[in-house]
Amino acid sequence: MSIDLRLLRYFVATADAGSATRAAAGLHVTQPVLSRQLRQLERQLGLSLFERDGRRLRLTSAAVEFLADARALLSHADQVERAAASLASGRLSVLHLATPTTTLTDVLAPFLATLGPEDPTPRVRELDPQGPLAALRAGADLTVVTRRPPRSLASRGLAVLPVWAYVPADDPWARRDTVGISELAERRLVLLTSDFRPRALLDAAMDADDVGYGEHVEVTNAQVAQAIAAAGGGIAVVSDDPRFDLVPLRIEGSQGVVTIRLYAAWAPGHHAAATLAELAERLARFCVERYGPEVAPARP
């Protein structure tokens, strides 16, 4: 059975007014028109909705039970209409984000703290290991990734950040700014496993300089790597912000300083693509404010 929402609105208005005359005036229809609409609804439902009580209308027992459901259905219909209007205008009420854990902790969470009440409410989850396309297919509106997104996606470069070698403040290297690849290979290292982007970038720099690793341990969490370094367990190589009073050193090889790039990506056909592009632009500016102008990526 298909119920005309307009008829439901007539029914609820009449129940609230307690009088067909007052309800008709509020609905801007004549009383005979309202009466016909109510009889049509009764035929659709197979229910008697009103009884005459003098000059007033009184709800039947069936109508009393039905009224709550009618209100709930109309309320949901109003929500659907508002959501459709928001989608049609390109607005977002909720922003679904997918990002690597390190980026969430050091970049995205601080950025989200700057959002205002007029911005969409963020919902964040860990980036799908299959990359931005998989994340967007799974329902993300915007992803932050560490590899250049495919050309089928709209994207914005956010920042170019160093991959750091972290040493304790009492380490002989603590007064330095950089360390060479070959020097680094001579020390005990605390590395992320090979499925992490900073490790892959360090591997590539090692290969480019024809240098192999010496003594090292592998962990699956960048903060744990820094904790081990702070305890004297080796030099942590991660892209995180510094923790535990460690001193960051840039890692330099024959191809330059080892860096990691951040990109925002979204579907170009997204109904709120313009809003997502504006948020990506704000996030890029936030990275510059947080880390300095030197992290700004070159614009194509």
Distance CA 70, CA 261 (A): 54
179 and 53 in a single domain? The answer is: no
171 and 120 in a single domain? The answer is: no
Nearest to 93 by CA among 74, 121, 127, 69: 121
Give ∠ CA 42-43-44 in degrees, rounded to 5. 90
Nearest to 192 by CA among 217, 168, 211: 217
Distance CA 5, CA 218 (A): 62
Give the per-residue pLDDT at 282: 95
Position 300 in a domain: no
Nearest to 49 by CA among 9, 2, 14: 14
80 and 219 in a single domain? The answer is: no
Encoding tokens for residue 127? 């980036």
Structural domain ending residue among the three candidates 40, 72, 88? 88
Give me the CATH number covering residue 69. 1.10.10.10
Position 104 in a domain: yes
Give the per-residue pLDDT at 6: 86
Position 187 in a domain: yes
CB-side exposure of 142: number of CA atoms within 13 Å?
A: 30
Position 182 in a domain: yes
Position 279 in a domain: yes
Position 289 in a domain: yes
144 and 276 in a single domain? The answer is: yes
Q: For the chain, how many helices (H) and strands (E)? A: 11, 14
Distance CA 80, CA 87 (A): 10
What domain count does the chain have?
Answer: 3
Position 70 in a domain: yes
198 and 145 in a single domain? The answer is: no
205 and 135 in a single domain? The answer is: no
Structural domain ending residue among the three candidates 72, 88, 104? 88
Mean pLDDT of the chain: 89
223 and 106 in a single domain? The answer is: no
146 and 268 in a single domain? The answer is: yes
18 and 156 in a single domain? The answer is: no
Distance CA 52, CA 71 (A): 22
In this predicted model, what pLDDT tens digit does every residue of 224-236 receive, in sequence order?
Answer: 999 999 999 999 9
Give the per-residue pLDDT at 70: 86
195-204: long-range pairs with CB below 8 Å, 24+: 195/129, 196/220, 196/222, 197/100, 197/146, 197/147, 197/239, 197/260, 198/163, 198/222, 198/237, 198/238, 198/239, 198/260, 199/237, 201/163, 201/258, 201/259, 201/260, 202/163, 202/237, 202/251, 202/258
Q: For residue 55, how far is the Cα from the chain centroid?
A: 57
In this predicted model, what pLDDT tens digit does every residue of 97-127 receive, in sequence order?
Answer: 998 887 888 999 999 999 888 888 889 887 7
122 and 265 in a single domain? The answer is: yes
Question: Which residues does 154 contact at the CB level (< 8 Å), separation at least 6?
Answer: 265, 266, 267, 268, 273, 276, 277
Give the per-residue pLDDT at 68: 87
Q: Which stretches of the chain score pLDDT less than 50?
A: none
Structural domain ending residue among the three candidates 60, 88, 116? 88
Q: Are 159 and 296 in contact (CB under 8 A)?
A: yes
288 and 144 in a single domain? The answer is: yes
pTM of this prediction? 0.70
Give me the CATH number covering residue 193. 3.40.190.10
Q: Dihedral sign for Cα 246, 252, 258, 259, please.
A: positive
177 and 28 in a single domain? The answer is: no
Query: Containing domain of residue 51, as a range?
Result: 5-88
Position 191 in a domain: yes
Give the per-residue pLDDT at 24: 84
Q: Are 259 and 160 in contact (CB under 8 A)?
A: yes
Distance CA 251, CA 108 (A): 24
Distance CA 276, CA 284 (A): 12
Partnered with residue 236 across adjacent β-strands are 166, 190
